[in-house]
Chain A
Amino acid sequence: MGALSLTALEVESLRLSLWVSGWAVVGSLPVGIGVAWVLARLRFPGKVLLDGLVCLPLVLPPVVTGYTLLVLMGKNGLLGSLLQKTIGLSFSFNWKGAALASAVMAFPLLVRAVRLSIEAVDQGLEAAARTLGAGPLRVFFTVTLPLILPGVLAGVILCFARSLGEFGATITFVSNIPGQTRTLPLALYTLTQVPGGEAAALRLCIISILLALLALVGSEIVARRLNQRLKG
């Protein structure tokens, strides 16, 4: 019984991880769908640049992304100080910063999944909806969005799973603060740095694997339901 129940440290980092990843998904989803739509449907000068910018975190070393965030969004950063002054929103050394780092790192995965599903939507259906009296915005919410739901779900799961594993950008941007930014991977890293922490690290390792499996199985079940709906 004692071996199976979670320690206070495990509970704290697990809860923080789910909280941070959840907010990373919630925050990046609307933006991600918007950017994916723009990339899938519009043609404009500078599209290659936007595409590249979105994908950048995928190929940059996470430390570089984290440091860039620190410079831009930190307390004295260009955008960070502005946000702090105008709406009192601070990303420096708190869980919001951890969520931002996770969101940025996972953003390319989200956009890619959603973009592919938007490109697969039959635009004839959207044209049909227009002739039935629906304006562009209504067409998006009543036809396009329901049709891309499986893709959005795939993107959300990828984004969530990637956020759970986020390490490099987070530790660079918002450091390793217990209860604020010490998520599962950071807690695991901390344990490997102290003598005698191997057993506890192994437990966190197993928790991480279980969590990832749970997310994947869950998404598989929801995806099947959605497909079932389209097949009648």
Chain B
Amino acid sequence: MLDIQLARRQGRFQVNAAFQARNTGITALFGPSGAGKTSVINMVAGLSRPDGGHIVVHDRVLFDSDHGINLPPEKRSIGYIFQDGRLFPHLTVRGNLTYGMKLTPRSQRFIGIDQVVGLLGIEHLLDRRPARLSGGEKQRVGIGRALLTSPRLLLMDEPLASLDLARKSEVIPFIGKLPAAFSIPIIYVTHSVDEVLQLADDIVLMNYGKSVIAGNMPEVIQRPEFQDVLQARGFFDGVDGRSAGLPLLQGPAACLKLPLMNCVTGEPARVRIRDRRE
């Protein structure tokens, strides 16, 4: 269980976030730009200090203002994947990947380099330097670098924001595989409805520095607060269902005919219908 409750004043901007997340799956921290999402995960990672509150990850207290606990980032075992990659330019891809791994005691490592390199498909890049990687490759290396510290929690700060559409679809499947492959919970910061619908299991909605609602994805997307955001962005609704033999999707209320759908019969699928009404 992740238990997060924090407050911080940044100039005239007040961040107030309180939510809990499960130990598995992807929790999307969702909201418009400037809602304070990155501020929240920076505090969780220990890169900035909250004025008050607490951060508990897997029963381990990382920060508690009442008890004067504030672990430095290097003691938190939290992997952080940055929007801009932040690979070390003076190290090769291999050097970047092993930087944090070497600092993790052998007894605490449960993720191996071969496993990560294989999953992310970056074998052929190992001897390159970051300057010679594409945006998508950089992000995959950044994910691998964080994973190899065997973290208890992964933070992702809009990892796809700086990528074009083709690069996005190159990285998304890897992120989707992570929770199952390594059983590490992920907090995923994004302002993209697309990414929320494709990746999230749970969702925390943030606006004006405050966490508005938090909960299970299918429930939260029914809530009026979330619908307001979706409608403002030109989205109508999400439909969850199961593939009922190609090309049909069996939803809760109706069966949709989707000629371009490509998935195995019986597999869960989610369809997003764009609102074209002007």
Which residues of A come within 8 Å of B, CB atoms? 122, 124-125, 127-135, 138, 142-143, 146-147, 229-232
Give the A-B contact count at a CB cut-off of 8 A. 70
Partner of A132, one of B47, B99, B128: B99
Could you tell me the distance between the alpha carbons of A142 and B103 in the complex, rounded to whole angstroms? Answer: 12
Whether a CB of chain A sits under 8 angstroms from the CB of B82 is yes
Q: Considering only CB atoms, which chain A residue lies closest to B77 in the complex? A: A133
Could you tell me the distance between the alpha carbons of A211 and B251 in the complex, rounded to whole angstroms? Answer: 82
Which residues from A are CB-within-8-Å of B236?
none
> Chain A nearest CB: distance from B71 CB in Å?
11
Could you tell me the distance between the alpha carbons of A228 and B133 in the complex, rounded to whole angstroms? Answer: 16
Given A131-B79, A133-B103, verify A147-B74 contact (CB < 8 Å).
no
Q: Considering only CB atoms, which chain B residue lies closest to A231 in the complex? A: B131
Q: Considering only CB atoms, which chain A residue lies closest to B151 in the complex? A: A131
Main secondary structure of the interface of A (DSSP, over half): helix
Contact, CB under 8 Å: A232 / B131: yes
Partner of A125, one of B73, B86, B100: B86
Contact, CB under 8 Å: A232 / B78: no
- Can you sample 25 A-B contacts with CB below 8 Å? A122-B86, A125-B86, A127-B47, A127-B86, A128-B82, A128-B86, A129-B99, A131-B47, A131-B76, A131-B78, A131-B79, A131-B80, A132-B100, A132-B103, A133-B74, A133-B100, A133-B149, A134-B74, A134-B103, A135-B72, A143-B88, A147-B90, A230-B131, A232-B128, A232-B132
Could you tell me the distance between the alpha carbons of A138 and B46 in the complex, rounded to whole angstroms? Answer: 17
Could you tell me the distance between the alpha carbons of A132 and B103 in the complex, rounded to whole angstroms? Answer: 8
Contact, CB under 8 Å: B104 / A124: no
Which residues of chain B in 73-104 are interfacial with respect to chain A, using CB atoms and an 8 Å cutoff? Answer: 73-74, 76, 78-80, 82, 84, 86, 88-90, 99-100, 103-104
Which residues of chain B in 127-157 are interfacial with respect to chain A, using CB atoms and an 8 Å cutoff? Answer: 128-132, 145-146, 149
Which residues from B are CB-within-8-Å of A125?
86, 88-89
Contact, CB under 8 Å: A130 / B99: no
Could you tell me the distance between the alpha carbons of A129 and B90 in the complex, rounded to whole angstroms? Answer: 13
Whether a CB of chain A sits under 8 angstroms from the CB of B45 is yes
Contact, CB under 8 Å: B129 / A133: no
> Chain B nearest CB: distance from A133 CB in Å?
4
Partner of B129, one of A129, A131, A147, A230: A230
> Chain A nearest CB: distance from B111 CB in Å?
13
Which residues from A are CB-within-8-Å of B46?
130-131
Could you tell me the distance between the alpha carbons of A129 and B104 in the complex, rounded to whole angstroms? Answer: 13
Could you tell me the distance between the alpha carbons of A134 and B98 in the complex, rounded to whole angstroms? Answer: 12
Contact, CB under 8 Å: A131 / B89: no
> Chain B nearest CB: distance from A156 CB in Å?
18
> Chain A nearest CB: distance from B130 CB in Å?
7
Q: Considering only CB atoms, which chain A residue lies closest to B84 in the complex? A: A124
Contact, CB under 8 Å: B129 / A132: no
Given A146-B90, A147-B89, A147-B90, verify A131-B132 contact (CB < 8 Å).
no
Contact, CB under 8 Å: A131 / B146: yes
